[in-house]
Homo-oligomer: A and B are copies of this chain.
Amino acid sequence: MSIITIIGSGMMGSAMARPAKDNGHEIRLVGTPLDNAIIEAVKAGKDHPTLKRSFNGIATAFYISELGEALNGTDVVLAGISSFGVDWFTENILQVLPKNVPVLSITKGMRLEANDSLQVFPHHFASKRPDLDFIAVGGPCISFELFDRRQTMVYYCGRNMAAVKKVKSVFETSYYHIIPSTDTVAVECSAALKNAYAMGVSLAVGLAEREKGVTDARGITGNSIPGAPDLNPVYNPQAALFAQSCLEMRRLVEMLGGNGDLVAGLPGAGDLYVTVFGGRTRRLGTLLGRGMNYSKVKEVLNGVTLEAVAIITRVAEFLRRASKAGKADLKKFPLMMQMDSILNKESPVALDWESFGEL
């Protein structure tokens, strides 16, 4: 039996308790300063407020003020934070993590560095704690499906294959399948980009609805496959954008030194497939496609964190700088650049289809 300390009690971090517990490990679930309501509920034996499942008998909950206790004797740390919590995690948590304990990171995103490079989070973390092994997760995984023991297949990746395999052995079960890899750039870059491109694919949903006169927020709820409930979905343009997304993800992964072939499997196409069908990014793209500008969409989705917006803004800026330096051709990323204009210049959604396709 090992001790697993999960820091960050959002849906995905919390759900990872399930396979580890099924393998007989002790699970400690620590909330960030924003998670106090979740920790209070779990400590009281109530359902996890966002995952809407009980953690009784699965994990012991800790407030962030109890972090020291939660880290005492731990064997694996899971960094269960969103990209918006990276600075907090880097400044407050990284330095207090014990030595020789591998850190599994589920954070999706990339940083634009001062030298104009784009960096995946595991490499950022490692630059601050070079003594630790950071292992990142990529691939299609909806949190509550994992918690409910649905068949799930993902990548774990890191620079040290022995550490990757150690962490894999802690989490792998008969329903949670893990492919080990050392290509952190390909896996993490895909994991970040799929949020961006899920917005792109969803634009087609909203565009088709707009043609039928739907320009408001109807049908935009928390359920899967949101959309105007009285309309049949339209797939040809979604599929064309899905394919364009796969092309651009591949180009960016290869530009950053990763193996582009991985984009065609779980970390790219597979994860995009899952992300398109529900959640905030789908709602974002659908509303934009219906003709709402981004300021208005932010009001409608008020309070929802939009990782897609962060990653699109960052990648587009990276590409502009790289283009100026002669290191990138913006014509290879037309969908990314159009998404950036829609968000950051509030340009109307009028996709330039002729710019898409294999060149």
Q: Interface residues, chain A, CB within 8 Å of chain B?
A: 139-142, 145-146, 150-153, 177, 179, 204, 207-208, 223-225, 232-240, 242-244, 246-247, 250, 262-266, 268-271, 273-274, 277-278, 351, 353-354, 356-358
B351/A239 in contact, CB under 8 A = no
- Complex contacts, A150 vs chain B, CB 8 Å: 208, 234, 236-237
A246/B264 in contact, CB under 8 A = yes
- Distance in Å: Cβ of A114 to nearest Cβ of chain B: 33
- Complex contacts, A232 vs chain B, CB 8 Å: 223-224
A274/B153 in contact, CB under 8 A = no
Knowing A243-B140, A246-B264, A265-B243, say if A177 contacts B236 (CB, 8 Å): no
B277/A356 in contact, CB under 8 A = no
A239/B271 in contact, CB under 8 A = yes
- Complex contacts, A278 vs chain B, CB 8 Å: 235
A181 to B, closest residue via Cβ: B358
- Complex contacts, A264 vs chain B, CB 8 Å: 246-247, 250, 263-264, 268-269
- Distance in Å: Cβ of A244 to nearest Cβ of chain B: 8
CB pairs A–B below 8 angstroms (10 shown): A139-B239, A139-B240, A150-B234, A224-B235, A239-B270, A246-B265, A246-B269, A246-B270, A262-B358, A264-B264
The 8 closest A-B pairs by CB, nearest first: A243-B270, A140-B239, A264-B264, A153-B240, A151-B237, A152-B236, A243-B266, A145-B236
- Distance in Å: Cβ of A176 to nearest Cβ of chain B: 9
- Complex contacts, A141 vs chain B, CB 8 Å: 236
**Contact residue among B233, B247, B273, B357 (Cβ-Cβ distance under 8 Å from A239):** B273
**Contact residue among B177, B262, B263 (Cβ-Cβ distance under 8 Å from A354):** B177
A140/B236 in contact, CB under 8 A = yes
A351 to B, closest residue via Cβ: B151
